[in-house]
Amino acid sequence: MYINDLIKIRQKQADCWKEQLKLETHILCKFLPKNFDELEKFIAPINYVPVNNDRKVIELRNKRYKIIQETKRIWLNVNFHAYEIKLHEYEKQYQMALMTLKEKSLNNTNPVITNGLSQFDHIQQYLNFQTNNSIKDISNEMASYRRIILRNRQRSSSSSSSSVAKDTMTIGLSPEPYLDLIMNPFNIRSWNYLSLGRIYFLLVYMMF
């Protein structure tokens, strides 16, 4: 009974950790989950357009862009904080259940000793073995998940039109180039290249 409880707690903890790693993978691949992009619908584009004042239009659009970007960062921090709380709580439950099992084992008047180890020691070795296997499985799964995210990001970039306004492009978290333009003439792929900065283009120039 106690062993099954310990295994279930570890499984819940592993599932929580895997979800946290998935979110981290999305961030590293610069391809946030769709629910994060829903924020852009709540903060609608600026409808008010000052007459003959292009500078004001640019200022308002970039202010909206920065607000959405900062809001996404805050939301991500909240999510990561929630994951940390859950992981800590599962670990606390696990240690308490393990301590209860140890006390039951110590109260046994006829403890079984095998190869110099008590029954509790063997159980703990088994649990550690299961935990390590779970960590390896999740690590391997994350490597595959990262490839899937990168492939989906590439498809999303390729399927975009050749001329997309900045306000209609998905807003990420990383620092991006700032252009004082009414319309952004770059598509998503071109914008991503531009985000790589001067060093990237210098390397391309040297190659040719």
Q: Tens of pLDDT along 91-147?
A: 999 999 999 998 888 777 565 566 656 788 889 999 999 999 999 999 999 999 999
Assign 208 a pLDDT band (cuts: 50, 70, 90).
very low
Angle at 62 between CA 60 and CA 67, to 5 degrees: 95
d(CA 161, CA 168): 11
Assign 39 a pLDDT band (cuts: 50, 70, 90).
confident
197, two tokens: 């900065």
Kindly give, in sequence order, each residue whose CB lies less than 8 Å from that of residue 60, ignoring residues fewer than 6 positions away: 46, 48
Report percent pLDDT > 90 for the chain: 36
Count of beta carbons in the 10 Å neighbourhood of residue 83: 17
Q: Which of 94, 67, 118 is nearest to 2 (CA)?
A: 94
DSSP 8-state class, residue 71: H
Q: Tens of pLDDT along 40-82?
A: 777 666 666 666 777 777 787 788 888 888 888 898 999 999 9
DSSP 8-state class, residue 162: S
pTM score, whole prediction: 0.72
Say what the pLDDT of residue 147 is.
94
Kindly give, in sequence order, each residue whose CB lies less than 8 Å from that of residue 37, ignoring residues fewer than 6 positions away: 170, 171
Going from the C-alpha of 144 to that of each of 47, 138, 157, 162, 179, the distances in angstroms are: 42, 10, 20, 30, 36
